[in-house]
Amino acid sequence: MAINDFLKKQQIKKIILFMASVTFAIGFAYAIYSSPELLKSIDYKQVSFIVLLGVPCTLLLNAVDFILLGHVFFKPVPFIRALEISILSSAANMLPLPGGTITKIAGLKQEGVGIGKASGVTIIFGFIWISVAFIYAGISLFFYSSTTRAIGLTLLAGGAILLIFLIIVLRIHNKSNTLILAIILHRFTLVFVDALRLFWSFNAINSKIDLLQSGIFVISGVLGSVVSIIPAGLGIREGVSALLAPTVGLSASSGFIATSINRLLGLTVLSPLAFLLSYRKTN
């Protein structure tokens, strides 16, 4: 019975992954059909920034994330070990479950942390990221124009309230102010790098935006991750970006294509790294 249930779950995962991939492909094709000019003059300098700077910075920051998780439990984690978890968790995010989260929890378990505690702290880290993304997007919307100021203020307030609550939770569990500050600064850096990658992605297809405008789109990553049944928010993040694009004077197609390019370039760098790491571990 248990084996049958497991097989059914695996089949459901494959179906969800297939449907998400088809939806993503259709959306990408429609965006190109609607605005074919966006891919006619790609700025490869911007593309190189994403591949050579953006994606490696994201992987390094994810490694620091695991090191900070270890510090919460007074478990020092070597950087190379943390980088391996970063690569594998990023690859696992393409599974139709919160695969990245599961990989981190498994990594903490190997460091001697109980699954319950590891799950709880990993979830808190995730909510800190959500709160920071709301604050970042809120600031961007607040200063972008008077028409988006109210929405920006709402996001800013919501993110700040959530962040204060999470800080209180960490303090109740006797986590040091230094560690809490490090976690928050790390999260702001992670969100900034995400905004920077989106800035390069939009400019790669000559949809000119500045860093203030690109900050608005970080909220799409949060919404994509919340729908954890979809692999890495596949199609969700791109769809949200398409909806947000008109708020900064861009077409919906440019929002979908730019976010897709950011994703695909990330996979281009990540896939061979994850394959080589998996191969090394099994041989």
Return the top range by mean pLDDT from 118-132, 178-192, 218-232: 178-192
- The Cα–Cα gap between 246 and 254 comes to 10
In this prediction, residue 17 has a pLDDT band, given cuts at 50, 70 and 90, of low
- Whether residue 218 is predicted with pLDDT greater than 60 in this model: the reply is yes
- Supply φ then ψ for residue 247, to 5 degrees: -65, -20
Segment 110-134 mean pLDDT: 85
94 vs 56, which has greater pLDDT?
Answer: 56
Q: Where are the domains of the chain?
A: 2-21+43-281
- The Cα–Cα gap between 182 and 152 comes to 25
Among 6-10, 132-136, 279-283, name the one with the lowest average pLDDT: 6-10
- Whether residue 12 is predicted with pLDDT greater than 80 in this model: the reply is no
pLDDT at 166: 94
pLDDT at 19: 63
In this prediction, residue 13 has a pLDDT band, given cuts at 50, 70 and 90, of low
Give the Cβ contact number of residue 147 at 10 Å.
Answer: 9
Segment 37-44 mean pLDDT: 79
- Whether residue 253 is predicted with pLDDT greater than 60 in this model: the reply is yes
- Whether residue 165 is predicted with pLDDT greater than 90 in this model: the reply is yes
Segment 22-33 mean pLDDT: 64
250 contact partners, CB below 8 Å, separation of at least 6: 202, 207, 209
Give the Cβ contact number of residue 62 at 10 Å.
Answer: 19
pLDDT at 73: 84
Segment 256-277 mean pLDDT: 84
150 vs 7, which has greater pLDDT?
Answer: 150
pLDDT one-digit tens code per residue, 227-251: 554 555 667 788 888 899 998 888 8
- The Cα–Cα gap between 187 and 87 comes to 18
Q: How far is CA 19 from CA 12, 97, 98, 113, 261, in A?
A: 10, 14, 17, 36, 20
